[in-house]
Structure 1
Amino acid sequence: MNKDLALPLPLYPFPSLISPLSEQIAADTVKWIEEDFCFLNDKMQYKYCKSNFGKLSARCLPDMPAYERLQIAAKFMLWGTIFDDYFEFKPLDELVLLHDRAMQILEGSVPTQTDSPFFPILAGIRDSLQALMPPSWLKRFSRNVGIWIASMQEEVPYKGIMRFPSLSNFELLREKTIGIQAYLDLIELQLGGCLPDAVMLSPYMKELYRLVSRISAWCNDFFSIEKDIDREPLNLVLVLQQERGLPLQEAYNDAFVIHNRDVAEFMTLQAAVPDFGSYTADVKRFVYYLGIMIQGQNDWYQIDTLRYKQGGFPEKGNF
């Protein structure tokens, strides 16, 4: 990349927190990579260890009341990231089968010997969540997992052939492919209770989920730009460059305008929580933790991980 480019990094006004158990969860994550994901080759296991995903969950979910809850969140984050990397260039028919089987597992199906090795891990995550949260929550969580996995099918016309979508189509797609909606659901593990669907599926919460998904996606795209050039067309900067015929620097600046507008809209909503009756206090805590999630992701990119450095990320054919 041209070293003369001025590519500013995101700054957020939200608190920067980290779990006091961050080192422990980082060590557990390495253990899972070596044991649960032992089907990966040594090169990929090494890269994932250097990605330091445990610290991501420690920053995004810093106030888990019990360590087992942080473990569940961290394992799901690890599982989702590796799943996405592993299958991102697969053909459409295979992605359809993967989605359908993932949903069956989340609904209670028992993995078989013919299943992908990803599915016994997912079943373990499901069982852990089932022991903590009510069926209504698990149904909502599973639906959000399904939205993300299904979105991998929508990427097929673009990935591998460097075909760019229109900006409008990309923005709608990127909200889903970032895959953070189900991870946002895990904030409820910090609340000590479960918010009802009447709250979580309200227009207010849906708009917050949409904005946090966008902000997280744009933040990821800024840090991913070096690895995405000539490899991945689904990056806000590269889509803007293509659609508007801009040099990379100007496309990056335009992407920051979109990002900053979304942050401003999020902050406006964050400061104006509606009256949800007896649930209002918990909604305010949830919305506070959405800001922590945004800040935690950004801190992880800048402090903890090598995933976005040269050689630190999976490339086509690595698996």
Structure 2
Amino acid sequence: MKTPISNEEFYAGLQELPQPKYPFPDFIHPDFQKQREEYYEMIDKDYFFHSEMARQKHKQHNLVDIASRGCPFLKTLAELRPLACYAANGAMMDDYLDLCTPDEMDKINNRIIAILTGEEPNEPTENGIFYQFWTLRQYTITREMPDRLYQKFLQAIFGILTGYSHERAYYRANAIPPLSIYLIIRNNTSGALPFCKYVAMQKDYRLLPDEILEDPYILRLHTLCSLMIGIHNDIISLPKELHREGDTMNLVKVLQQENKITLKEAYMDALELHDSYLNEFLLLHENLPQFGKWQDMTYNYVQDLGIMVAGVFAWHTNDTSRYVNGGYVEGEYKPT
């Protein structure tokens, strides 16, 4: 581990650099405070295997706000719960398992998949990660989520789990991946693809047929959302990741290594790549294929995808505890 540094050194040279901007309004679900209270209770009840320091830090991070800001138009707290459970448990799991091996990650992933598909139908006897994924399934199947949407949601979560396994190899080797590999992995590990699928649970979008939700335009828009969120997360978390060994899955680090440029140049190139994805998103939004009677609804659905991206970024910029010096949660996983 590197020598501890002061807050001033931690942020030196980064505070004045520009950050992403989105042309979408900012919203938050009206039940966000109730969801927070459930989150605090869940941490105290189910995450006793984390250290007290880790639990307190997670509470300060308000990870369920990612769901409240990303899908603010869900009609009820009951509809918000599955996404909030995924967002909070997924982030805490990623922190906790920071140092596990790819093989260990694969074993964990396989059990999560069995729980989410119902192959392992019984309530897990141990609290924590597996119990929370079992709870996510119960929340979802009892909330009248159409099975076809649930399957899309699951497949996106499975993609994240695969991405976690792939990135662990780079973390443990303290190796920065090539750009092409980074983009493949980050498309999954940004965590945004399940959000893209869950946006269809808002308003009347669940009526949109599969031929629209699986259209190449829409799938490309999902990818753009995922990459924008991955990049803006990298930009926000860069001060933290510059000073921790193993935090190699960051676009700024990737570009600095790949192009042999300064940190500031790599930062600006990362922002430029982000903005190119945003411009492509806006172009596709205004030039959707002809979807007949679904045209207006599809246009509005894509608009709410943009609001989702902006909402996740708003969580990052409103949070003042996760990406500050000492605010992040160190990996505590120990193999059994």
Q: TM-score, normalised by structure 2?
A: 0.89
| Preserved CA contact (<8 Å) 2:163 2:185 | yes
The one-letter amino acid of 1:99's match is N
The RMSD of aligned alpha carbons is 1.9
Are the counterparts in 2 of residues 215 and 262 from structure 1 also a CA contact under 8 Å? yes
SS at match of 1:156: helix
Which deviations, in whole Å up to 9, do the C-alpha atoms of 1:101-151 show, x marking residues without a partner? 111111112246576731222112112211221222222111111111011
Residue 288 (structure 1) aligns with: 303
Paired residue type of 1:41: S
Bigger CA drift: 115-124 or 224-233? 115-124
Unaligned runs of 5+ in 1: none
Change (3 A) 1:287 1:305: farther
Aligned to 2:6: none
User: Which residue matches 1:264?
Assistant: 279
Distance 1:309 1:2, change over 3 A: closer
Q: Which among 35, 38, 52 is matched to residue 48 of structure 2? A: 38
Compared with structure 1, are the counterparts of its residues 39 and 281 closer, same or farther at alpha carbon in structure 2 (3 Å cutoff)?
farther
Secondary structure of the corresponding residue to residue 236 of structure 2:
helix
Matched, 1:213 2:238: no
Q: Say whether residues 1:202 and 2:215 are aligned partners.
A: yes
Of 114, 138, 154, the residue aligned with 1:104 is 114
Alignment of 1:1-319 (within 5 A): 1=10, 3-5=12-14, 6-108=16-118, 109-111=120-122, 117-131=128-142, 132-192=144-204, 193-229=206-242, 230-231=244-245, 232-317=247-332
Residue identity matched to 1:294: V
Distance 1:223 1:111, change over 3 A: farther
**1:317 CA displacement:** 4.2
Q: Aligned pairs, how many?
A: 319
Looking at structure 2, the residues matched to 101 and 198 of structure 1 have their Cα atoms a distance apart, in angstroms, of 31
Q: Which moved more, 1:246-255 or 1:181-190?
A: 181-190
- Runs of 4+ in structure 1 deviating by more than 4 angstroms, as ranges, are 111-116
Q: Give a deviation string over 1:208-230, Cα, whole Å, max 9, x none.
A: 01100000000000001011114
The answer to whether the 8 Å contact 2:95/2:331 transfers is: no
Q: Which moved more, 1:170-179 or 1:4-13?
A: 4-13
